[in-house]
Amino acid sequence: MLAASLVWFALLAAPSPATSTEFVAIPGGEFRSTIRYAEEDAPRHVDGFAMSRTPVTVAEFEAFVDTQPQWRRDRVPSLLADRGYLANWQDADRSGIDGDAPVTHVSWFAADAYCKSVGARLPDWSEWEYVAAASPTQRDARGDATWRARLFDDGTPRGIDARANAVPNAYGVSGLHGTTWEWVGDFSTLMGDADKRGGEDGDRLQFCGSGGLSFNNRDDYAVLKRVALLSAMEPRSTLGNLGFRCARSTP
């Protein structure tokens, strides 16, 4: 009921009909992240924005590669994508696989470029987490232990949104808890990177003394798994089960 009236369509300038992306308006609100940010324990306000209803598909990404051939796997610089980039495609410009499936084997750089090409951007982690907290019936379903337990299967073919009978969440957004993980725009600001490892031992010990305190909810293993995954990524990395979707700030 709340989502239907908020759906709006954005037909894009790209040449192929495969690139029509449907965005859903997400009303802003207060949200207590599972992750505790430095010096900030209170719920934070997430501004209203729009998120694509589904993950970017293989067909949509084929159309993107057509119009921006510098993102073909045989042309992309290795600085921007690792060797796994689109490695599951039959050819550099044609996937030969299900066009409706979420595109995977894409780097953060490529995902970022795709979203820009449709006049959008990657969602921030806080936006992603905010929308992904919704079940089909509740905008914040994190108190529903049964629903939350199913999220352990995120990133696998058993994910709740990978099922044939999966329905959109309370915002009208689909596929957030499916077979594929999703990039977020600010993943690198969320996570420690290789440069931080092994350094600053004093601080490390200090925090180890209060281990786990940086998660507001240390039982939220689905989010913890997702954070662990994203923390392992570099912007040029690709994975067979990592895709993305786009977002737009509200004008």
Partner 1 sequence: MIRASRNLLHYALVCALGFGAPLAVAASNNNAAPPTGAPIKAVLTAPPLVPPATNRNAPANVVVDLEVIEKEMRLADGVTYNFWTFGGTVPGSFIRVRQGDTVEFNLKNAHDSHMPHNIDLHAVSGQGGGAEATFTLPGHKTKFTFKALNPGLYVYHCAMPPVGMHIANGMYGLILVEPPEGLPKVDKEYYVMQGDFYTEGKHGDAGLQPFSLEKAIDEHPTYVVFNGSEGALTGDHALTAKAGETIRMYVGNGGPNLVSSFHVIGEIFDKVYTEGGSKYQENVQTTLIPAGGSAIVEFKADVPGNFVLVDHSIFRTFHKGTLGILKVEGEKNPTIYTGQQSNEEYAPAAGKGGH
Which residues of the chain form contacts with partner 1 (CB under 8 A)?
Answer: 35-38, 40, 84, 124-126, 145, 149-150, 152-153, 155-156, 158, 186, 188-193, 196-198, 200, 203-204, 207-208, 210-215, 219, 221, 224-225, 227-229, 231-233, 237, 239-241
In the complex, what is the shortest distance from the CB of residue 152 to partner 1, in angstroms, rounded to a whole number? 6
Nearest CB to partner 1, comparing residues 53 and 105 = 105
Nearest CB to partner 1, comparing residues 69 and 192 = 192
- H or E element in which residue 30 lies: strand 29-31
In the complex, what is the shortest distance from the CB of residue 244 to partner 1, in angstroms, rounded to a whole number? 16
Helix (H/G/I), strand (E/B), else coil: 10: strand
Nearest CB to partner 1, comparing residues 168 and 178 = 178
Beta strand 247-249 pairing with 49-52: antiparallel
Nearest CB to partner 1, comparing residues 21 and 180 = 180
Helix (H/G/I), strand (E/B), else coil: 19: helix
In the complex, what is the shortest distance from the CB of residue 232 to partner 1, in angstroms, rounded to a whole number? 4
Surface-to-core class of residue 123, CB atoms within 10 Å of its CB (0-12 exposed, 13-18 middle, 19+ buried): buried
CA-CA-CA-CA torsion sign (22, 76, 196, 104): positive
Surface-to-core class of residue 93, CB atoms within 10 Å of its CB (0-12 exposed, 13-18 middle, 19+ buried): middle
Nearest CB to partner 1, comparing residues 5 and 40 = 40
Q: Tokens standing for 56?
A: 């970017």
In the complex, what is the shortest distance from the CB of residue 95 to partner 1, in angstroms, rounded to a whole number? 18
CA angle 137, 138, 141 (to 5 degrees): 120
In the complex, what is the shortest distance from the CB of residue 9 to partner 1, in angstroms, rounded to a whole number? 28
